[in-house]
Amino acid sequence: MEFDGMWVAVADVGRDARGGYLRDAWSAADLELREWFRQEAGRRGLDLREDRNGNLWAWWGDPEARPGVVTGSHLDSVRQGGAYDGPLGVVSAFAAIDLLREQGVRPGVPLGVACFTDEEGARFGVPCMGSRLLTGVVEPDRARGLTDDDGDTMADVLRRAGRDPAALGADPETRRHIGAFVELHVEQGRALVDMDAPIGVATSIWPHGRWRLDFAGRADHAGTTRLADRDDPMIPFAEAVLSARTAAERRGVVATVGKVRVSPGSANAIPGHVTAWLDVRGEDEHAVRDLVAEVGAGARVGCESWSPRVEFDPALAARLAAALGGAPLIGTGAGHDAGILAAAGVPTAMVFVRNPTGISHSPEEHAEPADCHAGVAALADAIKELADELLV
């Protein structure tokens, strides 16, 4: 199957010696993957476009003539991420187009393969940046001014990548091309493996957000400063981490501190400043927000991104699940470009592929080849189903 060749072609791009992937948006690895996407589009005679926000589109048919069915995902990764989160959806999208062609399907609507820019937000902090800009839920001025860990703004980084930062912003023209969207994704939990099902269909995405917590103190000498004289921001930071855990248990949500910056970062100096990032998600939006207020009480708190609950069209999900032979319907706590598009009014669905351990955002993330192949077949069926809907 063509899937396997494409999978091998991307397998080493951005892979770190420790086994995980470093595919920050607009990094050398990301640019190499974008070039790979361009070539895959070219090999199939698809019309390649890059929109004003850096999202890539490979069209079979003309989306100016009528809106089409789009499928795809992203090629960037979290730091030290796995191989499947994102690329599985893009590689499967090309493979599904191949399968439809092998089946002799001549869709009555244009079909597009999409690669969304900067889905993870690993570099600039805000996830799903490409789809948020496209749909106008992030102001381009804010996006341009976001900085990475080196202090480079998104505008600087885009310019270095040969893109025009002034072009960023809502893109109703590209949005009009998307009649329906389906994203295939590796499952990031254990629902499917526990149900012994290779494929699932998404029902909803939990509300979730990322907050920056700043703890200010006073840098001083680690040996000569009496405990009573210290203003050590590491102490309220540590209390916040522990309280995030206990508050999450009490409120029935999940909370994570996965990134911390300590300044100046010397082993023999009391820190002057600690910045931590708090990711909170849950079924109940109020519980999520109440937890942030509780945990952030001792810090300056800034919301870096907020993603409201997404309910994928239940009738569409049910039809798709039936078309896929009774695939189970499952919810998720992971964010996706599909969620941003659904919130913007695009008829949207997601297909999940079983992950044997459920582990994700880690080099241990995995899906068996047979399940990936089943995912491609399911995606081809989903595309046919959505194309039929656009035709009525």
Residues 6+ apart with CB under 8 A from 84: 186, 353, 355, 360, 365, 366, 367
Cβ 323 to ligand GLV, closest distance in Å? 26
Residues 278-307 that bind ligand GLV (CB under 6 A): none
Count residues near ligand GLV (CB under 6 A).
4
Cβ 1 to ligand GLV, closest distance in Å? 26
Binding to ligand GLV by residue 127, rule CB under 6 A?
yes
Residue with tokens 């607009």: 26
Cβ 335 to ligand GLV, closest distance in Å? 4
8 Å CB contact between 72 and 180: no
Residues that bind Mn ion (CB under 5 A): 85-86
By C-beta, is 189 or 272 nearer to ligand GLV? 189
Cβ 78 to Mn ion, closest distance in Å? 6
Backbone angles phi, psi at 335, to 5 degrees: -85, 150
By C-beta, is 351 or 387 nearer to ligand GLV? 351
Binding to ligand GLV by residue 140, rule CB under 6 A?
no
According to DSSP, the residues that pair with 70 across neighbouring strands are: 112, 181
By C-beta, is 52 or 132 nearer to ligand GLV? 132
Q: Which partner from the list Mn ion, ligand GLV, none does 232 bind, CB cut-off 5 to 8 Å by kind? A: none
By C-beta, is 99 or 340 nearer to Mn ion? 340
Binding to ligand GLV by residue 198, rule CB under 6 A?
no
By C-beta, is 86 or 107 nearer to Mn ion? 86
Binding to ligand GLV by residue 25, rule CB under 6 A?
no
Binding to ligand GLV by residue 179, rule CB under 6 A?
no
Q: Which partner from the list Mn ion, ligand GLV, none does 86 bind, CB cut-off 5 to 8 Å by kind? A: Mn ion
- Extract the tokens encoding 48: 């390649």
Residues 104-123 that bind ligand GLV (CB under 6 A): 120
* The pairing of beta strand 300-307 with beta strand 68-74: unpaired
Binding to ligand GLV by residue 320, rule CB under 6 A?
no
* The pairing of beta strand 273-281 with beta strand 254-263: antiparallel
**Which amino acid, one-letter code, is at 376?**
V
Q: Which partner from the list Mn ion, ligand GLV, none does 337 bind, CB cut-off 5 to 8 Å by kind? A: none
Cα–Cα distance for residue pair 293/253, rounded to 1 Å: 14
Taking CB under 6 A as the criterion, the residue among 110, 198, 335, 375 binding ligand GLV is 335
Q: What number of residues does the chain have?
A: 392
By C-beta, is 219 or 359 nearer to Mn ion? 359
What Rg, from alpha-carbon coordinates, does the chain have? 22
By C-beta, is 81 or 271 nearer to Mn ion? 81
8 Å CB contact between 159 and 165: yes
Long-range contact pairs involving 97-105 (C-beta distance under 8 Å, separation at least 24): 97/44, 97/46, 97/60, 98/2, 98/44, 99/376, 99/377, 99/380, 100/380, 100/383, 100/384, 103/380, 105/384
Task: Indicate the residue whose CB is closest to Mn ion.
Answer: 85
By C-beta, is 86 or 179 nearer to Mn ion? 86
Binding to ligand GLV by residue 334, rule CB under 6 A?
yes
Q: Which partner from the list ligand GLV, Mn ion, none does 335 bind, CB cut-off 5 to 8 Å by kind? A: ligand GLV
> In the sheet that 300-307 helps form, which strands lie side by side, from edge to edge?
254-263, 273-281, 208-216, 300-307
Asked whether the CA dihedral 13, 72, 384, 387 is positive or negative, the reply is negative
**Which residues contact ligand GLV (rule: CB under 6 A)?**
120, 127, 334-335
